[in-house]
Amino acid sequence: MASEDHSHGGSVFANVTQATEDPILGVTVAYNKDPSPMKLNLGVGAYRTEEGNPLVLNVVRRAEQLLVNDPSRVKEYLPITGLADFNKLSAKLIFGSDSPAIQENRVATVQCLSGTGSLRVGGEFLARHYHERTIYIPQPTWGNHTKVFTLAGLSVKTYRYYDPATRGLNLEGLLADLSAAPSGAIVLLHACAHNPTGVDPTLEQWEQIRLLMRSKGLLPFFDSAYQGFASGNLDADAQSVRMFVADGSECLTAQSYAKNMGLYGERVGALSIVCGSADVAVRVESQLKLVIRPMYSNPPIHGASIVATILKDREMYHEWTIELKAMADRIINMREQLFDALRAKGTPGDWSHIIKQIGMFTFTGLTSEQVTFMTTEYHIYMTSDGRISMAGLSSQKVPHLADAIHAAVTQH
C-alpha cells in the first residue's frame, strides 16, 4: 500500500531543489528563450560562419559519405579502449609522427567522450593509481575543470595564471605557486588557446615552466581542446605538449575533436598517458579499461570513424588543415574588426588585448554588471566573466557588439 509518509507534494523527489544552469551552457539556454531578432550568442565556444551558422567541414561530409557507402561498416561494439586506428592517429597528431614516446610504445591511448570525458577518465585513473591526489588548475580556467576533477576523486587547488592588470600571463605568480606545490602534484595545463583568457605562455616561458615542473616531479596533465585553432597550424599548437614529451618524462593529454574538426556533438576525443616504459603503458591501459567499463562500457563508433578516415588519408588530412586554418583566420579577422570598431568609436580603454589574445575567446575585462547590461539592453549573450566567443561573431554583427561594449563601459 502506498504510504503518504514517503512523499511530499505527491513525489518522492519533492525535496529536490532547482539547480542553477551551467555558467557556460546555460548562456545558450537563455539565448534560445530570447525572441529578439538582434540576439547574438557569444557564450559557448562553438564556431559559426560569417552567416552566423554552425559549420560542418567539407572533409567531414566526405568522410561520412565514405563511411555510409562502405558496406563492411557495422555497428558492433568497439573495444573498451575504442577504435585502435583512431587512438594511434590521435597520439601521432598531438605528439608528432616522429615522437620517440610513440616509437618506443610508451603511450597508452584510449578513445573517450570528447575532451570532457578524456579529462574525467584521466582524473579517475589518477585518483586510483597515482600517489598524489592534488591537481593544480590555472586561475582562471574552463569552469568545468574543478567539477570534473573533484568528482573524479582529486583535490583541486589553483595556481596563479592571469594578471588582470597587464591582461597577460602572471609568470612570476605561476612559477611561485608551482614551486610551493607538493612534489609530485598534478598540474593541469592548457596546451594552447587558454580558455577563458586567450593568454598562452611563449615557448621560452613554457621552457621555464617545464624545467620547474620536472625539477619538482610535478605531473603535467595537458588539456588540448583547441589544437589548430590558436595559430591555424596543428604542429605549432602542439609545441607545448611536445616539449614536455621530448624530455622523456611522463605526462597525460586529453584531446578533443569538438572544435578543430567541428565534431561537437559526436563526442570524440582521446586520453593519452605517456609512460616511462612500454610495459608500464600496457598495465596503465589495462587499468584505464577498468575505469571506463563501469562508466559507459565503450565509446561511440561514428565520430571516431570520421576522425580516423580523415587522419589516415593524406589528401583528406590536407583538406582538413586548410579548412581548419580558414576557421582560425576568420576568428583572427573578427578580432581585428572588433578592435578597429572600438577604436573608431573612441571607446574608453586599451582594447589591444582583443588582437593579442589567442584562440577562440577574448577575455574582455567587462564586469558581470556590464555583461548583464549588454544582455538586457543589446541581447548579446556571453559568460558573466566577460568572455566572448570570437567564433560566434560575424562582420555584420561587429557594429552591434561595438555599440554594446561602448555603452557598457561608458554607462556602467
Catalytic residues: 142, 223, 259
Number of residues in contact with ligand PGU, rule: CB under 6 A? Answer: 16
3-class secondary-structure state, position 404: helix
Distance from C-alpha of 142 to C-alpha of 72, rounded to nearest angstrom: 40
Nearest to 180 by CA among 134, 225, 144: 134
Give the nearest distance from C-beta 209 to ligand PGU in angstroms.
17
Is 109 near ligand PGU (CB under 6 A)?
no
Binding mask 81-100 for ligand PGU (x = CB under 6 A): --------------------
Nearest to 310 by CA among 251, 391, 228, 193: 228
Distance from C-alpha of 174 to C-alpha of 178, rounded to nearest angstrom: 6
Binders of ligand PGU in range 131-150 (CB under 6 A) = 142, 144
CA 358-190-120 angle, to 5 degrees, is: 140
Nearer to ligand PGU, 341 or 389 (CB): 389
Nearer to ligand PGU, 147 or 412 (CB): 147
Give the nearest distance from C-beta 331 to ligand PGU in angstroms.
14
Contact stretch for ligand PGU (CB under 6 A) within 59-67, 76-84, 108-116, 292-300: 108-116
Is 198 near ligand PGU (CB under 6 A)?
no
Contact stretch for ligand PGU (CB under 6 A) within 56-64, 112-120, 159-167, 296-304: 112-120
Task: Answer for the pair 378, 404: CB distance below 8 angstroms, yes or no.
Answer: yes
Q: How far is CA 165 from the centre of its chain?
A: 25
> What's the one-letter identity of residue 147?
K
Is 362 near ligand PGU (CB under 6 A)?
no
Distance from C-alpha of 128 to C-alpha of 125, rounded to nearest angstrom: 5
Binding mask 266-305 for ligand PGU (x = CB under 6 A): ---x------------------------------------
Distance from C-alpha of 60 to C-alpha of 69, rounded to nearest angstrom: 14
Give the nearest distance from C-beta 253 to ligand PGU in angstroms.
12
3-class secondary-structure state, position 113: coil
Binders of ligand PGU in range 386-405 (CB under 6 A) = none
Among 116, 227, 231, 305, binds ligand PGU (CB under 6 A): 116
Task: Answer for the pair 110, 81: CB distance below 8 angstroms, yes or no.
Answer: yes
Task: Answer for the pair 256, 115: CB distance below 8 angstroms, yes or no.
Answer: yes
Among 87, 90, 114, 362, binds ligand PGU (CB under 6 A): 114
Among 223, 250, 285, 319, binds ligand PGU (CB under 6 A): 223
Which residues fall within 8 angstroms of residue 134, CB to CB, at 6 or more apart?
A: 154, 155, 156, 157, 181, 182, 185, 186
Is 110 near ligand PGU (CB under 6 A)?
no
Distance from C-alpha of 178 to C-alpha of 216, rounded to nearest angstrom: 9
Which grid coordinates belong to 128?
A: 586510483
3-class secondary-structure state, position 271: strand
Among 101, 178, 225, 382, binds ligand PGU (CB under 6 A): 225
- In the complex, which residues of this chain contact ligand PGU (CB under 6 A)? 24-25, 44-45, 114-116, 142, 144, 190, 195, 223, 225, 256, 258, 269
